[in-house]
Amino acid sequence: MLAYIVRRLLWTPVLLALAAFFVFFMGTCAPGDPAELRLGPRATEERIKVERTRLGLDRPLLFQYGKYVNGILKGDFGVSYHYQGRPVTELLLPKLWVSVQLNIAALIVAVSIGLPLGFYAAKKQGTGRDPAIVISMLILYAMPIFFTAPLLILFFAVKLHWVPAAGWDGFFSLQIILPALSIGIPGAAIFVRHMRASTLEVIGQEYVRTAHAKGMSNFVVNYRHIARNALLPILTIMGFTLAGMFGGSLIVELIYGIPGAGRLSLDAIFQRDFPVLTALVLLGAGMLVLANLVIDIAYTIVDPRIRLQ
Amino acid sequence: MASATQSDHMIDDLPPARGHWRNVWSKFRRRRLALVSLILITFIYLLGIFAPVIQTHDYQQTDLRRTQQGPSTENWFGTDRAGRDLYTRVVWGIQTTVIITVATFVTGSLILGVSIGLVAGYFRGWIDAVIMRVGEVVSAFPDILLIILLAATLKPRILELARDIEDSTGISGLVSSGIVDYLVIGIAMLPLSWFGMMRLVRGQVLVLRDAEYVQAARAMGTSTPRILYRHILPNVVSPIIVSVSFGLGGIALAEVVLSFFGLGVQPPRPSLGVMIGEVTARGGASVSVLRDHPEQLLAPIIVVWLLIFCWNIVGDALNDVLNPRAQ
């Protein structure tokens, strides 16, 4: 197991460096000369040339990449084209933090709805409730966020006045409920699907039958023998569910007027502010890679079968 | 002798042998929800394919005296802010979805993903290692962000290229026909579409390459491409079909998201994503739209919703029918 963890830990920086190269390369493909964009339209040829040298744009690509990575390691993702001279990090980090909080809230929603419901559906296999849960979750999963989000606002904010319609007021506020639900419900549907499948697999195991035969109470068998073992494979899909929800959160943020990475990326696309866009993509990838790393290592610790292999 | 006649008799009693696919079809047919889903999908796609025939208006034609109308006999789904017929625009939007689905899925997932998967699984070694590592890098990014980045950076380049081609060859209308948009979307979704399929095929091939019938084929001196495509590929078809049917709904959604961010198909060409983006005014206004003119948001969204839902149901059913272990 130690060898596995070490290998993962060694591979992660390489993976991130390759991801950074990809993003950097896409950035150089982007239209517009960074030197020209920084100096504005009235700059003379001469000044642009000086600026290009200063920025190192006349050096080989690999050298520029080295400079880029060096900057990233110091927390410097370059300078925004649109907001003249403001460092990308300063623009991006506060917004990204908002998005991260929103996604954590959504993950809590997804897990707390998805896992119990998936478990319940599996226990009710053979009755009408199992397919009813599966199909209704699939309907919710397929429902585009462009529809769920405004629908939730209309119902809970405009009609019932339970929560504010939009805005952002930190993690512990009423405003976070609706956006977290909008992102979390499709995530919950994914968890239901996997939790149901993995519970069904465990229910058929002999040790479950043995536990029942020993006369243990249903609660203990459900909780200790079935649910705990069924949860293990769920851990591995956590990472990719999170990635899917992050994509959804970009749109949800726009609908709810949350000042997160979604609004920023939309602005960056329209203003052709590529340093901001590339930094956002790279940070998104970095968070995802680290989340998966933590999950995989946690998995080896939680599941002794993997540890022994 | 007696036993032989008896077994002959037993064979006579069995239903006539059927081909694998007929078997699959008869099992699939018994799942009512899946069958209805498949019919719905076919219907929606046919609407898109025959858009020029079944349109009731011109999708560009604006009528400023009839803006934001509700559904009527004249405009079946109503009209949008510019007085354009929503039904016609939805039908044309489906056509866009059909084109993009075919373009990205057939090229990216089927041709690229399957071929690379076959090669990686069959040859193993460093080819496999390189392909897997590349795939890992690609899958390190959150999907939507990667698609957005690719589309945003590539789009101007490809537009430039298309204009150059127009200038130098004298072919006109290349840019305005929308081919460039489809190309951009296709390329942007490429990293997404190939890796999942590749990993699936590779996993299957890793098992099959050591199967006895493959060894026999190899011993008889069959060429490698023939082994790959005639002996191994047919045995990988089932999981490919399942994966394709799960993926097709997602493509429709990805196009909507790209168009919503202004990176997909460009107006005046309608697409479901453009329609949603127009009424929600880049996000904020969707609540008032849903309250005051729900048909403008619902018309394109229900189509996307149905596509995703139906493809998932069909995928589930196919998974049960094609995967012997799931039965």
B309 in contact with A, Cβ within 8 Å: yes
pLDDT in tens, A259-281: 888 888 888 887 778 888 888 88
Structural domain spans, chain A:
2-88, 93-302
- What percent of chain A lies above the pLDDT cut of 90? 15
Half-sphere exposure of A250 (CA within 13 A, CB side): 26
Q: Rounded to an integer, what distance in angstroms lies between the CA atom of residue B36 and that of residue B21?
A: 19
- What would the pLDDT profile of B102-129 be if each residue is shown by its tens digit? 777 777 778 888 888 898 888 888 888 8
State whether A284 and B142 contact (CB < 8 Å): yes
At residue A192, the pLDDT reads 93
| Residue at token pair 């296709």 | B186
Residue B324 confidence class, pLDDT cut points 50, 70, 90: low
| H or E segment and range at residue B21 | helix B20-29
pLDDT in tens, B186-224: 888 877 778 888 888 898 888 888 889 999 999 999 998
Q: Is B223 left (phi over 0), alpha (psi -120 to 50) or beta?
A: beta
Q: Is the pLDDT of residue A22 over 90?
A: no
The pLDDT value recorded for residue B174 is 65
Tell me the nearest-neighbour CA distance from A53 into chain B, angstroms.
24
Say if residue B12's pLDDT is above 80. no
Statement: residue B327 has pLDDT above 50: no
Which pLDDT score is estimated for B219? 92
- Gap between the Cα atoms of A163 and A170, Å rounded: 14
Q: What is the mean pLDDT of residues A194-216?
A: 90
- Read off the pLDDT of each residue in A296-301 and give the average, rounded to a whole number: 82
Task: Kindly identify which residue of chain A lies nearest to residue B299, measuring between CA atoms.
Answer: A147
Split at pLDDT 50, 70, 90, the class of B15 is low
Query: What's CA A279's distance to the chain center, in Å?
Result: 15
B85 pLDDT more than 80: yes
The values of phi and psi at residue A208, to 5°, are -70, -45
Determine, for residues B140 and A29 on separate chains, whether the beta-carbon distance falls below 8 Å: no
pLDDT tier for residue B2 given thresholds of 50, 70 and 90: very low
Residues of A in contact with B160 (CB under 8 A): 31
- Using CB atoms within 10 Å of the CB of residue B17, give its burial: 0 to 12 exposed, 13 to 18 middle, 19+ buried: exposed
Q: Least CA distance to B289: which residue of chain A?
A: A150
CATH of domain A93-302: 1.10.3720.10
Å from B295 to nearest chain A CA? 12
Among A154, A152, A158, residue whose Cα is nearest residue A179: A152
For residue range A70-88, what is the model confidence (pLDDT) as tens digits? 888 887 887 777 777 788 8
Q: Using a CB–CB cutoff of 8 Å, tell me whether A165 touches chain B.
A: yes
Nearest to B153 among A135, A142, A274 (CB): A274
B260 touches chain A (CB under 8 A): yes
Between A142, A247, A274, which is nearest B142 by CB?
A247
DSSP-derived secondary structure for B183-239: HHHHHHHHHHHHHHHHHHHHHHHHHHTTSHHHHHHHHTT--HHHIIIIIIHHHHHHH
CA distance B27 to B23: 6
Among A70, A95, A31, A87, which residue's Cα sits nearest to residue A254?
A95
Q: Which site among B136, B137, B143, B288 would you substitute to test the A interface, given the most A Cβ atoms closer than 10 Å to its Cβ?
A: B137
Least confident of A66-70, A270-274, B94-98: A270-274
Tens of pLDDT, residue by residue over B294-315, are: 888 888 888 989 999 999 899 8
